[in-house]
Amino acid sequence: MTRSSNKPPYICYKLLKKVERAIEEKKINVPIKTWSRGSTILSNFVGLVFQIHNGKNFVEVRILEGMVGYKLGEFAPTRKIPVHPDTKKIRQEKQKGKK
Protein backbone atom coordinates (compact mmCIF):
# COMPACT_ATOMS: atom_id res chain seq x y z
CA MET A 1 0.00 0.00 0.00
CA THR A 2 1.29 3.45 -0.81
CA ARG A 3 2.00 6.21 1.63
CA SER A 4 -1.27 7.68 2.81
CA SER A 5 -2.85 9.32 5.82
CA ASN A 6 -6.07 7.43 5.11
CA LYS A 7 -4.63 4.01 5.91
CA PRO A 8 -6.50 1.99 8.52
CA PRO A 9 -4.59 1.12 11.72
CA TYR A 10 -2.72 -2.19 11.69
CA ILE A 11 -3.92 -4.75 14.23
CA CYS A 12 -2.87 -8.40 14.23
CA TYR A 13 -5.99 -10.49 13.57
CA LYS A 14 -5.16 -13.04 16.30
CA LEU A 15 -4.62 -10.27 18.83
CA LEU A 16 -7.96 -8.69 17.95
CA LYS A 17 -9.70 -12.04 18.50
CA LYS A 18 -7.97 -12.44 21.90
CA VAL A 19 -9.14 -8.95 22.92
CA GLU A 20 -12.71 -9.61 21.81
CA ARG A 21 -12.74 -12.91 23.74
CA ALA A 22 -11.35 -11.24 26.89
CA ILE A 23 -14.00 -8.50 26.76
CA GLU A 24 -16.75 -11.05 26.08
CA GLU A 25 -15.71 -13.26 29.02
CA LYS A 26 -15.06 -10.17 31.21
CA LYS A 27 -11.47 -11.23 31.93
CA ILE A 28 -10.15 -7.67 32.09
CA ASN A 29 -7.34 -8.28 34.61
CA VAL A 30 -6.07 -11.48 32.94
CA PRO A 31 -3.05 -10.46 30.80
CA ILE A 32 -3.17 -11.01 27.04
CA LYS A 33 0.20 -12.31 25.84
CA THR A 34 1.35 -10.96 22.47
CA TRP A 35 4.40 -10.81 20.24
CA SER A 36 2.74 -8.26 17.93
CA ARG A 37 4.59 -5.04 18.80
CA GLY A 38 3.43 -3.31 15.62
CA SER A 39 -0.28 -3.46 16.40
CA THR A 40 -2.02 -0.14 17.02
CA ILE A 41 -3.84 0.37 20.32
CA LEU A 42 -7.58 0.85 19.81
CA SER A 43 -10.14 2.44 22.12
CA ASN A 44 -11.63 -0.95 23.05
CA PHE A 45 -8.21 -2.02 24.45
CA VAL A 46 -8.50 0.54 27.30
CA GLY A 47 -8.46 -1.12 30.71
CA LEU A 48 -6.98 -4.41 29.48
CA VAL A 49 -3.60 -5.79 30.54
CA PHE A 50 -1.13 -6.92 27.87
CA GLN A 51 2.12 -8.83 28.13
CA ILE A 52 4.23 -7.46 25.27
CA HIS A 53 7.36 -9.33 24.17
CA ASN A 54 10.51 -7.20 24.09
CA GLY A 55 12.76 -9.81 22.50
CA LYS A 56 13.84 -11.42 25.76
CA ASN A 57 10.85 -11.51 28.08
CA PHE A 58 7.33 -10.13 28.44
CA VAL A 59 6.61 -6.65 29.81
CA GLU A 60 3.23 -6.21 31.48
CA VAL A 61 1.39 -3.05 30.40
CA ARG A 62 -2.07 -1.78 31.41
CA ILE A 63 -3.65 0.19 28.57
CA LEU A 64 -4.85 3.71 29.48
CA GLU A 65 -6.83 6.25 27.44
CA GLY A 66 -3.73 8.28 26.57
CA MET A 67 -2.16 5.27 24.84
CA VAL A 68 -4.83 4.99 22.12
CA GLY A 69 -3.31 5.43 18.65
CA TYR A 70 0.21 4.37 19.68
CA LYS A 71 1.80 1.01 18.89
CA LEU A 72 2.07 -1.71 21.56
CA GLY A 73 5.85 -1.91 21.10
CA GLU A 74 6.32 1.68 22.24
CA PHE A 75 5.55 0.65 25.82
CA ALA A 76 7.93 -2.34 25.97
CA PRO A 77 11.51 -1.09 25.50
CA THR A 78 13.85 -3.55 23.78
CA ARG A 79 17.12 -1.93 24.77
CA LYS A 80 18.62 -1.53 28.19
CA ILE A 81 19.65 2.01 29.11
CA PRO A 82 23.39 1.99 29.88
CA VAL A 83 24.29 3.04 33.41
CA HIS A 84 27.79 4.43 33.67
CA PRO A 85 29.61 4.25 37.00
CA ASP A 86 29.82 7.46 39.00
CA THR A 87 33.42 8.63 38.46
CA LYS A 88 33.44 10.78 41.60
CA LYS A 89 32.73 7.76 43.83
CA ILE A 90 35.35 5.65 42.05
CA ARG A 91 38.00 8.36 42.55
CA GLN A 92 37.18 8.62 46.27
CA GLU A 93 37.40 4.83 46.70
CA LYS A 94 40.80 4.75 44.96
CA GLN A 95 42.13 7.54 47.21
CA LYS A 96 40.95 5.71 50.34
CA GLY A 97 42.71 2.55 49.17
CA LYS A 98 46.04 4.39 48.71
CA LYS A 99 46.11 5.81 52.25
Distance CA 16, CA 39 (A): 9
Residue extents of the structural domains in the chain: 1-79
Q: Cα 68 vs. chain centroid, distance in angstroms?
A: 13
Q: Which amino acid would we find at residue 13?
A: Y
Q: In the prediction, which pLDDT does 1 show? A: 60
Q: pTM, whole model, 2 decimals?
A: 0.76
**Class of domain 1-79 as given by CATH:** alpha beta
Q: pLDDT for 8-27, tens place per residue?
A: 889 999 999 999 999 999 88
Q: pLDDT for 29-87, tens place per residue?
A: 899 999 999 999 999 999 999 999 999 999 999 999 999 999 999 999 999 888 887 77
Residues 6+ apart with CB under 8 A from 99: none
